[in-house]
Amino acid sequence: MARSFRSLSFVATNTPEALASREELIRTYGYTPPEEADVLVVLGGDGFMLQNLHDTMNSGRLIYGMNRGSVGFLMNDYRVDDLPERIAIATENDFHPLKMTAYGEDGSETIALAINEVSLLRQSYQAAKLRVLIDGHERLDELICDGLMVATPVGSTAYNLSAHGPILPLDAPLLALTPVCPFRPRRWRGALLPDRVKVSVEILEERKRPVNAVADNIEVKSVLKVEIEQAKDITARILSDPDHSWSERILAEQFAN
């Protein structure tokens, strides 16, 4: 069934290629301010797409990306012709971000959302020493590593994959708990978790082994504890071409050379 919409708005990252593409699309389809449009057409790479997804969560607006960056895993191919028709039949993907609550050694409490992953990373030459709890139950009393992340299916092909974490189908009700360079337990390679759980990570020897927490592009330095859970009340909406769907891209990634 074709999707009906009234207006498109075009936003571009600050590169000559993306800005030129935006001008071309405005000449072809006209200009609507982003806050008034039904569909926001994002021109750039994956980082710019994530920024716009964060800005539009729970707004009801749909995001359709076209690649004017490098990797463009989250983006559709760039073409000017028949854009309204492509958007009308595009596949809608709705998903919930992760909510990170980070407690700092200065007594602060920071809440941030992550579409890809929440990461804890060592701050110095000393490896991090972490205690991991799932829904309040201790699962690892001591994990020594460079870092640890909780990744969504959307983010499972990003940093998570680089750290040898599993690729998750987009519609899987799972989260990937993936260590970065684990030293002890040396053979622990992570876990798959139901997306309804709360992951709590406590930093051990926090003065000797300081740790930073990162939710996508929001970083909190010198944390004592981080809680991570899916924000079921917040939704981001993204469109993909039927012949280039996210589900297909994630499946194809598992068979890539």
Residues annotated in the binding site, as ranges?
Answer: 46-47, 116-117, 146, 154, 157-162
One-character DSSP codes across 155-202: GGGTHHHHTTPPP--TT-SEEEEEEES--BSTT---EEEETT--EEEE
The span from the CA of 200 to the CA of 139, in Å, is: 10
Structure-block tokens of residue 10:
């075009």
100-121 in b/e form (b: 16+ CB < 10 A) is bbbbeeeeeebebbbbbbbbbb
Residue 46 is among the residues annotated as catalytic for this protein: yes
Closest CA to 26 of 13, 43, 39, 9: 9
- From the list 46, 55, 195, 233, the catalytic residue is 46
**In the block, which residue shows the tokens 């909780």?**
150
Let me know: does 75 contact 69? Beta carbons within 8 Å.
yes
Residues with catalytic function: 46
